[in-house]
Structure 1
Amino acid sequence: MQEKTKEQTRFSYHRELGGLEVVDAHYYRKNFSRHSHEGYTINVIDKGVQKFYYSGCEHFAPEHSIIFVNADEIHNGQSATDTGWSYHGMSPLESQFSKLAADLGLGPNFAPYFPNAVVNDPHLAGQMRQMFSLLASSDNSLLRETLVYGVMSQLMIKHGKRRIDLRNYRQDHVGLDRVKAFIHDHLSENISLETLALLAGNSPFYLVRQFQKKFGLPPHAYQIQQRLKKGKALLRQGMKVAAVASEVGFHDQSHFHRHFKRAMGFTPGYYAREVSSGK
């Protein structure tokens, strides 16, 4: 039986997301000495309470709170209780935030400053947990980029020191129709949000907002719905479930099964049997 006091850390590096570093950790007796990082430290506390020194004083981050440590600033970390603490965290670089800031109209060299070391934002904490979960389980580039860009943009907009007034772009129907057609023409491919943004002539952040406003779903969800629509048609033609999953671009049969059942209320295997029997 594994000792309850064993420290656990899982680290992942996402080159396709600009070199984003992500960590999932559960610590009991870990005591980080004072140090700094090249990038930001942004963590969401899953369980327990973390205590840490930062910006000249001690801070306490309870369950569901978000920790912000700006790049190159000295901090440490340890549990504030006897039962340890768990968190998911990421370490975006200033260059990654600068790219998003340019998309938001803040200039090419802007990097945010987060004035509060600990914030209580349950909604954004939930978005961060969803992002971390899908980074670990999904290889859908469109979905991964959308979640990461969305979370990082919201962090800047809601908790950065500088007020950000979002630009109201005129909706480019031609550009959005181009994106829609591209999704249909490359339905089985693992396309990126960056590719779609270039087609639309807009930034990834504004593309997602405009696409959803016009078509009712963000690009990644629209892609999944079109894959399911084509999958149903192929099942009616008698193609096997596993072959359909591959044909329409799902990672494997289990991913197809999960999305199909979530959308339709029944499994693709059940659907295939019913349509083949003619009932």
Structure 2
Amino acid sequence: MSAPEDGIERIEARFRGNGFSPHRHDTYALGLTLHGIQTFRYRGEARFSMPGKVIVLHPDELHDGAAGTQDGLIYRMLYLPPELVGAASGHLPFLRDPVVEDGALWRALAQLLGDLQQEPDELALDDAIGQIAARLAQQAGSGRSKSKMLARPALLQASDLLVSESSRTIRSQALEDLVGLDRYELARQFRLLFGTSPHRYRIMRRLDHAKRLLRAGAGLAEAAAEAGFADQAHFTRHFRNSFGLTPGRWVGMRDSA
């Protein structure tokens, strides 16, 4: 279980048999079933979720939880305050079916539930919440209208800041103050102009900086620290996810070329 931050809580649960008696949350409860069959009663009906499915429980809805087979159950949940969903989507999406198959929603949740030991970066959190809210609205049949015009000069200012200050933490409030857009509108417009989120854009600029340092002969730990990564493992994970190989292997390929 990760420590709650800004009302957001992330947990992993593992059990056999009945796990939870009937209860309710004042948050959205969004879950990924990782192993086994997850069963629960919700709005008077028995529901089931298997790996690949996403669970979406609306705030203040009574439910319980159990493993559907003797094999047991493993799942992860994100408890997301409704005010954050409302800020991102303009309303509170209401899904009648609490178990959905939505690859984009799964991936957005996995951004926040993939590593419970590490708190997500604020920009990564904002981006994921924006994507989650958009998919919930889509599933509820109540999508928000897209921006008609891009605030291009402001977006270019944001990208300049993310490039020049890529190695340090940049608060969402700083970007809001700079461009005059709220963080969710900024994320939507930034993606339309640059093809990625502010968080991902900054990570790629960090990786660019780290690669320049490695080319100049810096060690992996030195490059990771100077580029702004939390540690060498954090750097390696992002490098592999972006380029398909570890930074050590990348250096070795360059040295042998």
TM-score (norm 1): 0.79
Alignment correspondent of 1:233: 212
143-152 vs 51-60, greater mean Cα deviation: 143-152
In structure 1, what residue type is equivalent to 2:13? A
Q: Hey, what's the Cα distance between the residues in 1 that align with 2:232 and 2:251?
A: 14
1:58 aligns with 2:49: no
| Partner of residue 85 from structure 1, selected from 53, 56, 73 | 73
CA offset at residue 274 of structure 1? 5.4
User: Which residue of the partner structure matches residue 121 of structure 2?
Assistant: 140
- Residue 138 (structure 2) pairs with residue 158 (structure 1): yes
Does the 8 Å CA contact 1:47/1:64 hold for their aligned counterparts? Answer: no
Which gives a bigger RCO, structure 1 or 2 (Cα 8 Å, sep 6+)? 2
Counterpart CA distance in 2 for 1:115 and 1:92 is: 18
With over 3 angstroms needed to count, the CA separation of the structure-2 counterparts of 1:159 and 1:13, relative to structure 1, is farther
Q: CA deviation at 1:64?
A: 2.1
Which amino acid letter does the alignment assign opposite residue 191 of structure 1? I
SS in 2 for 1:68: strand
Task: Give the aligned partner of residue 6 of structure 1.
Answer: none
Counterpart of 1:185 in structure 2 is 164
Structure 2 counterparts to residues 92-107 of structure 1, below 5 A: 92-101=80-89, 106=90
Aligned length: 256
CA deviations over 1:234-274 (Å, ceiling 9, x no partner): 33444443222211101112333343454385635863895
Q: How far, CA to CA, are the matches of 1:31 and 1:41 in structure 2?
A: 16
Q: 1:153 Cα shift?
A: 3.0
- Identify unmatched segments of 5+ residues in structure 1: 1-10
Whichever residue aligns with residue 139 of structure 2, its letter is: H
**Whole-Å separation in 2 of the counterparts to 1:69 and 1:231:** 41
CA separation of 1:158 and 1:222: change in aligned 2, threshold 3 A = same
Report the CA distance between 1:42 and its aligned residue.
1.9
| CA shift in 2, pair 1:85/1:205, >3 Å | same
- Counterpart position of 1:263: 243
Where does the alignment leave 5 or more consecutive residues of structure 2 unmatched?
Answer: none
Aligned match for 1:12, one of 2, 15, 19: 2
TM-score normalised by the chain length of structure 2: 0.84
Query: Equivalent of 1:113, from 94, 97, 103?
Result: 94
Which residue pairs with 2:183 in the alignment? Answer: 204
Q: Which residue of 175, 193, 198 corresponds with 1:219?
A: 198
The alignment's C-alpha RMSD in Å is 2.8
Name the counterpart of 1:39: 27
Q: Percent identity?
A: 27
Contact 1:145 1:192 in 2 (8 A): no
Partner AA of 2:2 in structure 1:
S
